[in-house]
Amino acid sequence: MTITAYGLGIALSAALGLAVCGVTLRRAAIPAEKILPLGLFLMPLGFLFSRLVFLLGNCTYYLTTLSSLTPALYFWDGGYAMTGAILGIVLGALAYSRTLRVPRRAVMDALSLGLSLFILIARLFERGTGLGEGREGAPLLGFFPWQGMQPVWLAEALAALLLFLYLVFRMRTSAHQSLFPRFLMLWCLSQVFLESLRDDGHLVVHFVRIQQVLCFLCVLCMLMMALHRMRKEGRPGLACGLIAAVWMLAGLGIFSEFGVDRWGAPSLAYAVMLVCLCSLGRIWLYARRNKE
């Protein structure tokens, strides 16, 4: 088993993310003895689900190309998914909150900051690994001083940095509002767009980008939940209208994704996709406004 710079980078990002979670929980007056076991809940599930999502996205490779599932057990050979890691970490945080009876909101708010930092550092260590590379001359990435394949990993790191700073700002100015829903929605929206810029073949089945689809489904689920709550609160007409708008924007966004390669104007397709994603995010914020 070889120790790589990327592996060390992931370990460093996980450690710093966990430290931020611990400090945030301590500031929320959570006893230190309850904070110490946090990593025992987050790390194993994050590792497990990261590997599982990767394997599910590459099951045809193991079943057809290798004709065996045995290599799937060789976790030291690499192969992980950021979406799976976040899913596992979130499940671990919920289990931690329930088992040790720590307030769930405090745990999830701390997790939002820790995950943002984890993603930021992990993306930076993707440089030179072949991950997070965009097609040569990719639109909207021309401001990076790179020749050849564009550094989508750097764009993802910058997005995580902005998300981290935004969450810190929200924590200081709107302490009564939960951070985690905003973290999840904003990260998923940004990832839907940035996955479209990638050209590294990571977790792509035929032409479908597995992680992009998972993030988009998460966005739609969060929107439907918020709008369903709005309908139950006595605004059925407005909720139904917004639901129709969501599906129209989702359809246009998917259409623009295919348009990147088919319209002959990639910049236009990306611009349409970005407008659709921002509009979906705005609808979600509006639907949550009264709740907050």
pLDDT at 63: 60
Spatial CB neighbours of 13, under 8 Å, sequence gap ≥ 6: 117, 118, 119, 120, 121, 122, 125
pLDDT at 222: 96
Cβ 16 vs Cβ 121: under 8 Å: yes
pLDDT at 235: 84
CA nearest to 117, candidates 18, 6, 197: 18
Rounded CA separation 188/211 (Å): 10
pLDDT at 80: 82
Residues in the chain with pLDDT values less than 70:
1-2, 60-78, 135-149, 290-292
Cβ-in-10-Å burial (0-12, 13-18, 19+) of 62 comes to middle
- pTM for this prediction: 0.89
